[in-house]
Amino acid sequence: MSDDHYKKLAVLGHPIKQSKSPIIHKHWIEKYGVKGDYAAIDIPPAALEHEFGELIAAGYNGFNVTAPHKQDIMQYCDARDRDAYEIGAVNTLYFKGDKLWGSNTDSYGFIENLENSVKNFDWTKGPAVILGAGGAARAIAYALKQKSVPIVRICNRTIANASDIVADMGGYVMPWDQKEEALLDANLLINTTSLGMTGKAPLEINLDNLPQTATVYDIVYAPLITPLLEQAQARGNQTVTGIGMLLYQAQKAFEIWYGIKPDVDDDLIEKVLK
């Protein structure tokens, strides 16, 4: 069901100028001829309560929320849907009647991107290894649980952060210096750390133990082909880039607001990668 009403939408974060979300949603607003606008609003953590209240008073109809507000924003929601509840963080807000609901479309984005990149990917074929234990890793661990991945290993520098995710989602904690051992029978390797991103240190990992049949997924998308993905491609593993996770989490948010499931088309990918 599409919606004829004008929607005031925004992404809230700090910093926010790097966000690609306005490009994505404006592309779809134009493409589908729906009414609305999508702003990027910088809100420092200490100002969240006040500024969010002002935005609600100003008649905003929906929001995306990014770092560092994905958890703090939950206290202003009247309700959360199942994904937001299970992940313990909100990235999309919308109104149902006069009630403000929180959702989380990151796990959907993660799954759709992989399933659109690797045809007939079998989630249940073997273990998955997650590198990192931040917010993205938490949404991904939830996605892997939904997909009945048999074993999930979370390798992280700070053990306590991996343990927190495992306590909620299941799986096993592995120390960062044992990540190569974790690869032995893996079906899926996912980098959720910022290592390998432009301007950050490279992700140093030896892939010798990884089966050639495994898929390697990097959620970093600048550069699009990270050194990890280059290394994986060179030894014949299938790879998944990170840009699609961003695009598909946005697809679900747009669908929540407008009732239209927008296409992730090549024009959009080109705009976002520019």
Asked if residues 112 and 136 have their Cβ atoms less than 8 Å apart, the reply is: no
From 134, 211, 223, 227, residue interacting with ligand ATR (rule: CB under 6 A): 134
> Closest CB to ligand ATR among 117 and 161?
161
For residue 160, the minimal CB distance to ligand ATR (Å) is: 8
Residues between 143 and 182 that touch ligand ATR (CB under 6 A): 156-158, 161, 176
Helix H or strand E encompassing 8: strand 7-13
Other C-beta atoms within 10 Å of 93: how many? 29
Asked if residues 202 and 195 have their Cβ atoms less than 8 Å apart, the reply is: yes
> Catalytic annotation on 70?
yes
Asked if residues 92 and 103 have their Cβ atoms less than 8 Å apart, the reply is: yes
Binding to ligand ATR by CB under 6 A, coded x per residue (else -) over 186-215, reads ------xxxx-----x--------------
From 132, 171, 196, 262, residue interacting with ligand ATR (rule: CB under 6 A): 132
Asked if residues 155 and 127 have their Cβ atoms less than 8 Å apart, the reply is: no
> Closest CB to ligand ATR among 34 and 203?
203
Number of chain positions touching ligand ATR (CB under 6 A): 16
For residue 17, the minimal CB distance to ligand ATR (Å) is: 17
- 133 touches ligand ATR by CB under 6 A: yes
What residues pair up with 93 in beta bridges, in sequence order? 63, 102
Beta-carbon-side half-sphere exposure of residue 213 (alpha carbons within 13 Å): 11
Catalytic residue among 70, 147, 179, 252: 70
> Closest CB to ligand ATR among 62 and 132?
132
Tokens 């905003």, residue located: 60
Rounded (10°) angle between helices 266-273 and 243-258:
120
Catalytically active residues, by annotation: 70
The residues of the shown chain that bind ligand ATR, judged by CB under 6 A, are: 132-137, 156-158, 161, 176, 192-195, 201
